[in-house]
Amino acid sequence: MTSSKFPDPPPPTPYEPLPSYPPQPPHQPPQYIILLPHYYRTPRQFLRRPSRRYLIPAAVLLLLAATLFFLWPSDPELSIARLHLRRLKIHSFPKISFDITLDVTAKIRNKDFYSVNFRSVVVSVGYRGKQLGYVVSDYGRIKARASSYVNATLELKDVSIFSDMIPLIEDLARGSITFDTVTEIGGELGLGLFDIPIKGKVSCEIVVDTRNETISHQNCYPEV
């Protein structure tokens, strides 16, 4: 028996070991897969981008709304600054009638940034819903964001009310008569080439003391 210098080969195994990575075809660079972690947005980061996106349109709409609010034309404010009964005379012959002279001072306030040209101010007096007479003032002009006063004197003579004769006699016996006054303004806003019509109206209920010929009570309110 002779001894050999080389060890015996290992016995054959039934399986071959797999390579650690798939074999690459020749002349092709190796391919790698990169896994990135999932990025979660915080609520602040999620809301920050939409708020910046809608910030400019919201600011433009707000500015437009403010401009329309200040520049949109509106009717002037009409109020009664003074009511003065100058004369009241009752006639019993040949029929029941009365003479009345009423001084009215109307205050007109222009709230807009444009001037107001009013054609006239009409003051009328009524009794129990029926108009007895009226007076018309002259043309006028009110500057932007300013007020003006208009004086009107209503003078009626020999006024008789056949349909309301009994209530009138009762009022005379009680010593007070209730009249209704309506003050109206009509005109235009001065907008250069454009004239926008405006109007205003205020009603007053005045109680006249027939003994001393004075106004004992008055209640004025604007009408729309």
Q: For the structural domain made of 77-223, what CATH number should be given?
A: 2.60.40.10
Question: Hey, where are the domains in the chain?
Answer: 42-72, 77-223
Q: How far is CA 103 from the centre of its chain?
A: 33
Going 54 to 56 to 57 to 61, the CA torsion angle's sign is positive
Distance CA 28, CA 189 (A): 85
Distance CA 153, CA 86 (A): 9
Look up tokens 């002349």; give the residue: 27
- Average confidence score pLDDT of the chain: 80
Mark 59-73 as b/e (b = at least 16 C-beta within 10 Å): eeeeeeeeeeeeeeb
More confident call, 3 vs 196 = 196
How do residues 183-210 score in pLDDT, each as one tens digit? Answer: 999 888 766 556 678 889 999 999 999 8
How do residues 70-121 score in pLDDT, each as one tens digit? Answer: 667 778 889 999 999 999 998 888 888 889 999 999 999 998 887 888 888 9
Based on DSSP, count helices (H) and strands (E) in the chain, helices before strands: 2, 9
How do residues 151-180 score in pLDDT, each as one tens digit? Answer: 999 999 988 887 888 898 899 899 999 999
Please tell me the predicted confidence (pLDDT) of residue 53.
Answer: 72
Q: Are 179 and 125 in contact (CB under 8 A)?
A: yes
Whether the pLDDT of residue 14 is over 70: the answer is no
Q: Are 181 and 111 in contact (CB under 8 A)?
A: no
Please tell me the predicted confidence (pLDDT) of residue 147.
Answer: 93
